[in-house]
Structure 1
Amino acid sequence: MTETNFKVALLAGAAAGISVDLSLFPLDTIKTRLQSQQGFLKAGGFRGIYSGLLPVVVGSAPTAALFFCTYELTKTVMRNTLGEKWSTASHMIGASLGEVSACLIRVPVEVVKQRAQANPHLTSKSILLTTLKQEGFPGLFRGYFSTVIREMPFSFIQFPIWEYLKLRWSSYQGKIVDPWQSAVCGAVAGCIGAGVTTPLDVAKTRIMLAKMGTPLATGSINFALKTVYAEKGVQGLFAGLVPRVTWISIGGAVFLGVYDKVRVTIIALTEEG
């Protein structure tokens, strides 16, 4: 990947991350509270719907930038090494590796954010300090593997579908898709990916919200899924499905649409310069 392409991925990714996280934060809060062990109303209901916003503002740009830099780099290397016939595989692998790297920033942000969403009477700063005091630095990474296990299948599904839909639409109209068309493709891809991976999202939320020292706090996806199923059955595994699918469908449109819009704009400005 050239220096120019790296800068484009960095800036476009950062813009996409901030746009989607700020615009859809209330839906994310509702989803988290629906998935929490104490239930929606006890977790705050519709009160303090922006609780946990600060860590998201701080972490969204670098998280998305890191994801897209890894994604674009992997695609470029695989395309140059293996050829176009491996394009679908490059999208899957690139998205998966992008999630592994992005989660190094995303997970600490998610830990503080989700605890603030489930405890609206506490500030993000107090939650951060309490977590560091009680659990140390590793406490901020509780749920890292469960988050990666959730995000990898999601991106594994979403990005190849997004790229495929853009390719088909582009072929149909005889030109590269516009950013708004990319946004539509992103919404469809996000909807499918979100629905399929909801149980993993429920497990991740339970692990991050669990009290230190409890079995759930160990971070076992298997145990979390079994616990949720034992408590609430299949319905519990798909808690928050509607807001999650809605949030990620709209989020896919905003995230991928903004990414393509900013990417195209930066490339055009670079060529003009």
Structure 2
Amino acid sequence: MVAGAFAGIAEHSVMYPIDLLKTRMQMVNPTPAAIYTGIGNAITTISRVEGYLSLWRGLSSVIVGAGPAHAVYFATYEAVKQSMGGNAAGHHPLAAATSGACATIASDAFMNPFDVVKQRMQIHGSAYRTIIECATTTFRNEGLKAFYVSYPTTLMMTVPYTALQFTAYESLTKVMQRHRRVGYDPLTHCTAGGLAGGVAAAATTPLDVIKTLLQTRGTSADPEIRQARGLMGAAGIIWRREGAKGFFKGTNARIVTSAPSTAICWSAYEVAKAYFIRVQNESE
């Protein structure tokens, strides 16, 4: 759990500015000032107009939530993987996929409210300056449901995302490390994690766009968006206004975020886990 918490904070902190950009690119009916033509242009524009520190607005919500959420995430992953025989010799893609799906169901229940706060602070012109202000205002105006209206959509995205990512990660590490040894192999874990994260991110972008609409609906001046009730309602809005291409907004930013983030996450997790295993072995 400590290794998982360390991995989660490292993952989200390093790539946070690109994650902020992804949120803005996925917005439906953004303000003219929030329409960007590319990642480089967007970062330059945001830094010049809003200040460099605005790229990190909402980071505190991720730090507070990611540590405990990833602790639950990786603890669940290891427990389910062990119970399904995933640690035995050989290749076990089903165990990897199932353990990943169980892990994200457990962690997203905790992380979803923090993700809502994060995205509301990331949008252009956000009036929130602290996570406490954002959380209390959201709860007062929209109630507890505002923090979980996107949870079913989140699970529909993260369960296949994580199952695909974990399966790809386990498979790639098996291929890259034919005779896997106990310990930390930075090149293998970093490369496998990055490739797995990029593939999974590209495949689940449409659901991420829907999730963004649901999680930021309370900040919109558009009555139809504010009344979006769930996955189908949000998907209908996107389809009517932007067509099929609307479901792939921010794909590049999502891949650019997810590939290195996953590489960082798995690398940090594996090195922390290897450290604790070594300490335990030495004490024994």
Q: Same fold (TM over 0.5)?
A: yes
Check the 8 A contact 2:105/2:155 in 1, yes or no: yes
Partner of 1:77: 83
Partner of 1:12: 3
The alignment status of 1:92 with 2:83, answered yes or no, reads: no
SS in 1 for 2:92: helix
Partner of 2:38: none
In the alignment, structure 2 segments of 5+ residues that lack a partner are 36-41
Check the 8 A contact 1:20/1:251 in 2, yes or no: yes
- Structure 1 counterpart of 2:110, one-letter code: I
Alignment CA distance shift 1:83-1:40 (3 Å): farther
SS in 2 for 1:39: coil
SS in 1 for 2:71: helix
Alignment CA distance shift 1:186-1:214 (3 Å): same
Deviation at 1:115, TM superposition (A): 0.5
Partner of 2:274: 264
Counterparts in 2 of 1:143-162, with a 5 A limit? 143-162=150-169
CA RMSD, aligned part only? 2.3
Check the 8 A contact 1:17/1:64 in 2, yes or no: yes
Partner of 2:58: 52
Partner of 1:4: none
Alignment CA distance shift 1:166-1:125 (3 Å): same
Identity %: 26
- Structure 2 counterpart of 1:61, one-letter code: G
Deviation at 1:226, TM superposition (A): 2.8
Q: Deviations over 1:103-145 (max 9, x none)?
A: 1121000110100111433223222111111222232222111
Figure out how many residues of one structure are paired with residues of the other and give that number: 262
Deviation at 1:179, TM superposition (A): 2.7
Counterparts in 2 of 1:115-194, with a 5 A limit? 115-118=120-123, 119-123=125-129, 124-171=131-178, 175=181, 178-194=185-201
Deviation at 1:185, TM superposition (A): 0.3
CA distance in 2, matches of 1:263, 1:83: 18
Higher mean Cα deviation, 218-227 or 185-194? 218-227
Higher mean Cα deviation, 218-227 or 107-116? 218-227
Alignment CA distance shift 1:70-1:223 (3 Å): same
Deviation at 1:68, TM superposition (A): 0.6
Alignment CA distance shift 1:110-1:41 (3 Å): farther
Check the 8 A contact 2:72/2:103 in 1, yes or no: yes
Deviation at 1:21, TM superposition (A): 0.9
Deviation at 1:174, TM superposition (A): 6.2
SS in 1 for 2:55: coil
SS in 2 for 1:65: helix
- Structure 1 counterpart of 2:185, one-letter code: D
- Structure 1 counterpart of 2:251, one-letter code: L
SS in 1 for 2:21: helix
The TM-score with structure 1 as length reference comes to: 0.88
Deviation at 1:67, TM superposition (A): 0.6
